[in-house]
Structure 1
Amino acid sequence: MSMIPNPGSNPEEAAKPRMFDNADLDKMAMQFVGNMQRYRENIIIPKSNGPIKIKTNEEKLIETAVESCGFKSAMACVMGYGLGAALGLFSASVNPNMSDPFANEKKQTARQVLKEMRSTTHSYAKNFALIGAVFSVVECTIESKRGVTDWKNGTYAGGITGGLIGLRAGIKAGIIGGLGFAAFSTAIDYYMHSR
């Protein structure tokens, strides 16, 4: 219970404190502060920033799914596979394993050439898919742990990914691979965000 003087016409009543119960205090709080429920219809958004559209629950659900680590890593894997396949196909077509006609070697058939192109394309595609998936998982994990979205996440993820891939060839290759991939990730992130 709170005691607040009641201003009135009579000075004796003005000096006498008035008692408020909890219901009166709640009504005053509702008047000055507002209720705890939020209604979309009561939101006032300035139009100086352009047209505003409030998202529905379905749009929020789809946005949450698309921004999840699992979806990002799956998309990076699929896109990495596609990019690797394109580069592998280009590499196999530019540098075919041709037989030497002066060494009396047997000429390759079209089937052998296509088989070789397929294996090269698939090899490139698998490597790029692996790199994309590992980078995406590591970056998303770092971003979740740090709670910040900035250029450092890509740099750290590039260093870890390059180090893990380079470790297949040894410690020195892992360190060089980590530093190179971190620098590459930082440069790409800077280029993408500066435009």
Structure 2
Amino acid sequence: MPTIEEMRAQEVWNNCAVKSVASGVMGGGLGLMMGLFLGALDNPITNDTMTGRQQFVFTAKQMGSRSWSSCKTFAVMGLVFSAAECIIEKARAKHDTTNTAFAGCVTGGSMSARGGPKAACIGCAGFATFSVLIEKFFDRHTSSSPEHREREI
């Protein structure tokens, strides 16, 4: 039997706004780390007249701007996807792959909407497909766990 604190914590976590903000923060953290990593791998074109210190500062600035850009992108992506999936799940009163596909479509379409309707449609289809594939990949691994098999029985 869960305690009162556990039930309250579950109640808070079931709130779409809380889920979305948490996903946005985690997505931003992931984007920041990826930006730092990929920024470090970039081979910037530096001027031959730059000193070692100037090259270091130049590279650090590039890494910082790339990390911040990735941070913002992943934060928005996580927030939009999580909010869309949560709202769709509550409206349909079901947890299935359809929710993931629609949330992926909303996310991909909104992230690429600046490119016009064609880009939004392609973004919708691409992100929905990617989301469903990831859902199926993780579902396959959880379905073989003993806990999942017990729930099915």
Class of the TM-score when normalised by the shorter of the 2 chains: 0.7 to 0.9
1:63 match: 10
Higher RCO structure, 1 or 2 (CA under 8 Å, sep 6+): 2
Task: State the one-letter code of the partner of 1:92.
Answer: G
Contact 2:23 2:75 in 1 (8 A): yes
Tell me how many residue pairs correspond in the alignment. 139
**Cα deviation 1:99-145 (Å, max 9, x = unaligned):** 254xxx64643222211111111110110000000011111110111
Give distance in 2, aligned partners of 1:188 and 1:80.
16
From 108, 111, 117, the equivalent of 1:171 is 117
TM-score (norm 2): 0.85
> What amino acid maps onto 2:37 in structure 1?
F
Q: Distance in 2 between matches of 1:99 and 1:172?
A: 38
- Per residue, is there more helix in 1 or in 2? 2
Match of 2:59 in 1: 113
3-state DSSP class of the match of 1:97?
A: coil
Q: Secondary structure at 1:109's aligned position in 2?
A: helix
2-structure distance, mates of 1:168, 1:189: 27
8 Å contact kept, 2:108–2:123: yes
What is the rounded CA distance, in whole Å, between the counterparts of 1:67 and 1:73 in structure 2?
A: 10
Runs of 4+ in 1 over 2 A off after TM superposition: 105-109
Q: Report if the CA contact (8 A) 2:46-2:55 is conserved.
A: no
The share of aligned pairs that are identical, in percent, is 37
The within-5 A match list for 1:82-93 is: 82-93=29-40
Cα-to-partner distance string for 1:24-52 (whole Å, 9 max, x where unaligned): xxxxxxxxxxxxxxxxxxxxxxxxxxxxx
Q: 1:146 aligns with which of 70, 92, 106?
A: 92
Matching residue's letter, 1:73: S
Equivalent residue of 2:112, what SS? Answer: helix
In structure 1, the partner of 2:46 is: 99
Which segment drifts farther, 67-76 or 122-131? 67-76
| Higher strand content, 1 or 2 | 1
How far, CA to CA, are the matches of 1:106 and 1:62 in structure 2?
55
Superposed counterparts of 1:1-195, under 5 Å? 54-99=1-46, 101=48, 106=50, 108-195=54-141
Q: Which runs of 5+ in 1 are unaligned?
A: 1-53
Aligned-partner Cα distance in 2 for 1:63–1:135: 20
Deviations 1:133-186 (A, max 9, x none): 001111111011111111110110001110111111111111000000000000
**CA-based RMSD:** 1.4
Higher radius of gyration, 1 or 2: 1
Q: Is the 8 A contact 2:108 2:125 kept in 1?
A: yes
